[in-house]
Structure formats: structure tokens, C-alpha cells
Structure 1
Amino acid sequence: MTTRHIGVVMNGVTGRMGYNQHLVRSILAIREQGGLELKDGSRLVPEPVLVGRSEQKLADIAARHGLTAWTTDLDNALSDSSAEIYFDAQTTQAREKAVLKAIAAGKHVYCEKPTSDSFAGALELARAAREAGVKNGAVMDKIYLPGLRKLKRLVDGGFFGRILTVRCEFGYWVYEGDWQPAQRPSWNYRAEDGGGIVLDMFSHWNYVLEHLAGRVEAVTNRSFVHHPRRWDENGQPYEATAEDAAYAIFELAGGAVAQFNSSWTVRVYRDELVEFQVDGTEGSAVAGLRNCRIQHRGATPKPVWNPDLPATERFRDQWLDVPDNQVFDNGFKTQWEEFLLHVAEDTPYQHDFLAASRGVQLAELGIQSNAEGRRVVVPEVSL
């Protein structure tokens, strides 16, 4: 069997997301399964080239997984003609400059979201990639979750009828860092370092809503720094200048309304860390990371409001589970496979830099809405 090797420069693999989801559970997992089958029957095998700032961390990761190609010199990695793809999982502020370098070097580019910390920067990346003729994509992992894939199956099958509303509850309690170490890096809570839940999560919510219910046409958002004082990785206190919670209303094309609560200051009382509820004229569904439950119009109970008596109905028991009907692989790995095939065989791919720029635009307009205390219209994006 013929094997084709394709080099992938992976920048930022010493970070939690870059290492766990992209290197170990995606690229190395694809290698372990023997690569991807191409149309001619050959196998496409990715060959990672690790890039980062810490020699020791890179050397440790390489030794742990039997890899030999690693460097702290990005320019050197990009000069390797066998490396056709550049991947970026650095902090948001460092991403734009590195991606532009990769585009200039003629690499196809795949990167984490948001693609930039500004809408103008995200559009510049999309334009640069188009002008250079390189394939490009951004991570949109949420729509590859089993729960969201089941939800999309319901949308495509017409289960909801006309979609009326989409609601999302997302987040959990991130320790302030004083009496227990925080579960997220401290830069996430400093605006000057590119932190903030709006830039982080609205980039996700935009593609989720486009995928399920329609383009966002207007946003009304309120953001807060609920914890103005936090402690960093060294136990030192710092001022939290980036919002840790956002409460938004998104108005969608076609008339549906979405309400999304995103918070690092909420204690979880739900089945999963994120839950999406879609209500339509014909039925409703609630989806999390893995599970999805439905209630059809014909099976909708008739609750009676009576605050003087204890509730006798078990409302959760009135919903039905949506079956898997297939094996769901890791969502990050699935999207990596799609992008690798897009590069190798020019298969269709819709999650490009232009699509990603719409997420950055929504985040920017969400920040504007909060600052000005008003509803903001979301213009259509084009290059």
C-alpha cells in the first residue's frame, strides 16, 4: 500500500489544548490508525513538526511520543518544503503574525479560534490566504460534538418545524486562584493579554448558530468582571481586567431569537457543562456535549401552574433520548481529518478564515454592545 507523508508544523503544542486535543487526540491518533485513506487507495500520514518557546517542554513531548522533529525557530520550521501545513494553537495575540508568516511561506493554514483578536485582523488573514491561494481553516469543534451532531440531524430532518428560540447555558466555576489553583490560564482574565469570555466564546457561538439556526443579524450583550481580583500560576494576585461572564441576545435571520449565558463564575446545575435548547413549532430538543433529548409537539404535556402545591411531575422524564445511530469520534480529530483531505484531495471545506472572521466580528460587536448599552446590527461579511 502506498503511503503519502505530509508535514504539519504545529505551533503551540506545549499548551493544554494544543497538546491534548490537537497533537495527542488528533494528529497522533490519525497516525496510529495508519493515516487517512485517499481516493486512489493510498494512505495519508501526517508528520508533526513541533514548535514552541520552551526547548525543555518540546523535548519532553517529543521523547514521550517518539517524535524527532521539534524546534523553537518558527522560521526554520516554515522553510521546510516537506511541511505543507501550518497549525497554530498559540495565544490569540500571537496568532495573527505567525499565520501571516506561514501564508507568506506558501503553507496551507489551520488554526485555533479566534483567528485574531480583532475583526480587521481576521479579515486580513482571510484576504491574505485567498490572495496566496493557500487552503485555510479554523477550528470549529463544537459542531463536531456528538450532542450537536444529533441536534443538527434533527434540524436537517425538519423535526423542529419553524425554529423559534435557541438557548445556551455554558460555563462553570473557575477558582480565583487564592485557595485553590485556577483551572484556566491567568491571561484569560487580562484584557491586555487577549483575555475575555466574549472574544473566546462568541467566536464559537457564531458558527454554532449559523450551523443550526441561521446567521446572526443583531446582538445585545452585557458583560461583567464578577471577580476583579484573581491569582496567577505563581500565586501572585492580579487585577482581572477581562470579563468573566457575558449574557447575550442574538437575533437570527428568519426570526429566531437566541439567548446565551457564558460564565466562568457559575456553579453547574445541569446535566453537562454546556447545554443548548432549541424550541420550534413542532418540537424541542436539549443537547449537551454528548447527549440529546427531544419532546415532540404531539407528546408535549400540559403543565399546570400552582405554587400552593408541590410539583408532582418529573419534567426531565417527559423527554426521549436521541440514539447515537453511529460511532462519534473525537470532534477535533474529525475536523482535522476533513482539513487534511481538503489539502490532499481538494474535498469541500466550509470552515475557512472568512467563516472564522464572522465569529471575531460578533465578539467585537458584542463588546461594542456592552460598552454602548445598546443593540448592535451585525453587517454581512465579504472579502
Structure 2
Amino acid sequence: MTVKTVRIAMNGVTGRMGYRQHLVRSILAIREQGGLDLGDGTTLWPEPVLVGRRDHAVRALAERHGLDHWSTDLDAVLADPSVEIYFDAQVTSARVTAVRTAIAAGKHVYCEKPTATTLDDSLALARLARDGGIKSGVVQDKVFLPGLLKLRRLVDGGFFGRILSVRGEFGYWVFEGDWQSAQRPSWNYRAEDGGGITVDMFPHWEYVLHDIFGRVTSVQALTTTHIPQRWDENGKLYEATADDATYGIFQLEGGVVAQINSSWAVRVNRDELVEFQVDGTEGSAVAGLRNCRAQHRSATPKPVWNPDLPVSESFRSQWQEVPDNGEFDNGFKAQWELFLRHVMLNEPWRWDLLAGARGVQLAELGMKSSAEGVRLDVPELAL
């Protein structure tokens, strides 16, 4: 067995998502399993090079996990020919410049979404990668999670018949920061810093809808800021200039209608923080990130509307749990492994910077739709 080391510059791993999901539960988890078996007698060993702006934070992270390589000088790291891949989990406003620099240095690029704050910038990155012969990837984690994998299994198996609609509910109450600390950083609520739930979540909904049901062809959205003032990490009051809720209606290829509500100002009365209900002529399903329940046409009850009598049926008990039928790995790790195989073996890959640009496009059109009060077509993107 041959061991091949791949050095990965990981920028932004001092943040919550970059640290937990990408460093610990993906790259370090691959190392803990002994590397990634490429199937040709080679084991790929990922060697992270931690990059960040705060010297003490990056150093502490490296020491905590016994890692030898870290830096606050991104240019120096990218100038190192032994570094093959650049990963970016920084705040969105810092991403374009860093990814441009990485592409110019000849590094393959894997990054969080959104890839940019504007469609023009996101397309420019995709073109730069294409023209430079750079392999690129954008994190599109939700389609790798158990609940949506089960949902995809139902779609691929023809369970739904003709799919009619998709209804999604996402969100939770993010504390304002005065009497309880907020669960999200304050920049999320400042438009000038690239914040806003539409910019954050519409890229997710684009790839979920695109991968499972079909391309989004039109969007009508309403965005709003329900909580106009919040308190930052230092307890200072600030104005929330970005939207904290967005309500979207999407038309898909083939006529499927999707409605998805996203809010950081909603209290949860669901089994999971995000759930999608899919209704078709032959059956329906409700999928979260981990679980999926289904109801076939043959087992659908016949409720009767009567507001004068109490409900006598337990509607939830009439659905059947979709079995795991296998083991599911961490969704972020699963996509990391596919990207590494794409880089090393040139295996098929569709979640590139152009796919990331589609998410930015949908967010941009959603914001425009809300501002103008109109439904907008979503043109198909090409480089």
C-alpha cells in the first residue's frame, strides 16, 4: 500500500463551521480512519495547513490537535508548491479575493457557500478556475445527509409518481443577544458585511432543489427583517441591516412548485430544524436532515373536515419511517472524500464553482424579487 500526502491550506477553520465540520469531522476524521483508500493501492493522507488572521487562535488550534503546520500569512502558504488544495470557510465578504489568489497560485479550490456576494463575482471565479485548469468544489452538504439521501432514494425509485410540490420549513429562534447570547455571529445581520438569511440559505435551497427535483426556473420571494436591533458579541446594541427571514416560491423544470420559508425569528415546532414535505400523485414524504417518513397512495387515510368535532386521528402515526438500509457518514466528510478523489483520480464531480454560482444567482434574484414585488425567471447559467 502506497501512502500519498496531500497538503490542504484550510482558511477560516477558527470559525464554528470550519472547525467542527470541516477540520474535525472531515479532514481529521479521514486521518483517524487511516486516510482515504483510493482503491488503486494508494491511501491518501490529508495534511492540513491551518490559516487564519489571529496568531494565537490558529496556534492554539494546531496545538490542540497535534498539527505541525499553521500560518497567518495566506500568500506564503499559497506560494508553497507542496500545498495542492485551498479550502475557504471565511466570512463571505473575504472569500472572492482569497479564492482568486489561490487560483492564480495554481491550487485546486474547495470552499463554503455562498462563493461570493454577487453573481458577477461568483461567475468570474468559475471562469478563472476553468481557464486555469483548476478543479473546484463548493460545499453542498445537505444532499449528503441521511434524510435527504432517503428522500432521493424515494424520488429515484418512482415512489411519488408525478411530483406536484415541495414545501420546506427552516429556521429557529436566534437570540437577540441582550439577555441571552446569540447563536450566530453579528455579521450575519449586517448587510454591509455580507449578512442576510437570503444570501445564506437560498444557495442551499438551489442545490437541494436542483439535485433532487430539477432546476429552478423562476423565483418569487419576500425578504424582511423581523428583529431590527440586536446586541453583538461585546454586548453592544447595533442595527440589523440584513434580512433575518425570507419566504420563497420556486417553479422547477417539469412544473413542480416549491415553497420554502427560512427564518432566524421562528420557534421550532418540527421534528428537525429543517423539513421538506414532498407530495406526488402516488405518495408523499417528509424529510429532515436525518429522518424521512413516507405515506403511499394505498395507505393514505380519508380525513373529513369538521371544525365542530375534535380530531380523532393521529396523523403522524399514519406515516411509515423510511429505513436507513445502510450506514451514513458525516455529510461534510462524504463530500470532502468525493472532492479529494476528484482531484487525485479525476472522478466525476458536479458541485463546482459554476454550481456555486447558481446558488448566488438564486439569492440575488430572490432579493431583487422582494425589492420589486415581482416573480423573476432564473436563466440557466453557462461559462
Aligned residue for 1:57?
A: 57
Q: CA deviation at 1:39?
A: 3.1
Query: Over aligned residue pairs, what C-alpha RMSD do you find?
Result: 0.5
Deviations 1:239-273 (A, max 9, x none): 00000000110011100100000000000001000
Aligned residue for 2:248?
A: 248
**1:220 and 2:203 aligned:** no
**1:207 and 2:207 aligned:** yes
Residue type at the aligned position of 1:53: R
Aligned residue for 1:303?
A: 303
Aligned residue for 1:364?
A: 364
Which structure 2 residues correspond to residues 111-190 of structure 1 after superposition, within 5 A? 111-190=111-190
Deviations 1:147-175 (A, max 9, x none): 00000010001111111000100000000
Distance 2:54 2:355 in 1: 32
Deviations 1:102-137 (A, max 9, x none): 000000000000001110000000000000001000
Aligned residue for 1:345?
A: 345
Distance 1:216 1:350 in 2: 17
Which structure 2 residues correspond to residues 1-150 of structure 1 after superposition, within 5 A? 1-150=1-150
Counterpart secondary structure, 1:182: coil
Distance 2:106 2:64 in 1: 31
Q: CA deviation at 1:201?
A: 0.1
Counterpart secondary structure, 2:310: coil
Deviations 1:75-107 (A, max 9, x none): 011011111000000000100000000000000
Q: CA deviation at 1:212?
A: 1.4
Deviations 1:261-312 (A, max 9, x none): 0000000001000001110111000000100000001111000000000000
The alignment of Structure 1 onto Structure 2 pairs a total of residues equal to 383
Deviations 1:182-219 (A, max 9, x none): 00000000000000000000000000001111111110
Distance 1:152 1:377 in 2: 26
Residue type at the aligned position of 1:104: A
Distance 2:122 2:150 in 1: 30
Q: CA deviation at 1:377?
A: 0.7
**1:325 and 2:325 aligned:** yes
Counterpart secondary structure, 1:350: coil
Distance 2:134 2:249 in 1: 36
Distance 1:353 1:188 in 2: 23
Residue type at the aligned position of 1:178: D
Unaligned runs of at least 5 residues, structure 2? none
TM-score of the pair, normalised by structure 2: 0.99
Distance 2:109 2:219 in 1: 30
Q: What is the percent sequence identity of the aligned residues?
A: 69
Q: CA deviation at 1:38?
A: 1.6
Residue type at the aligned position of 1:374: V
Counterpart secondary structure, 1:68: coil
Residue type at the aligned position of 1:308: D
Distance 1:91 1:160 in 2: 39
Residue type at the aligned position of 1:119: L
Residue type at the aligned position of 1:12: G
TM-score of the pair, normalised by structure 1: 0.99
Unaligned runs of at least 5 residues, structure 1? none
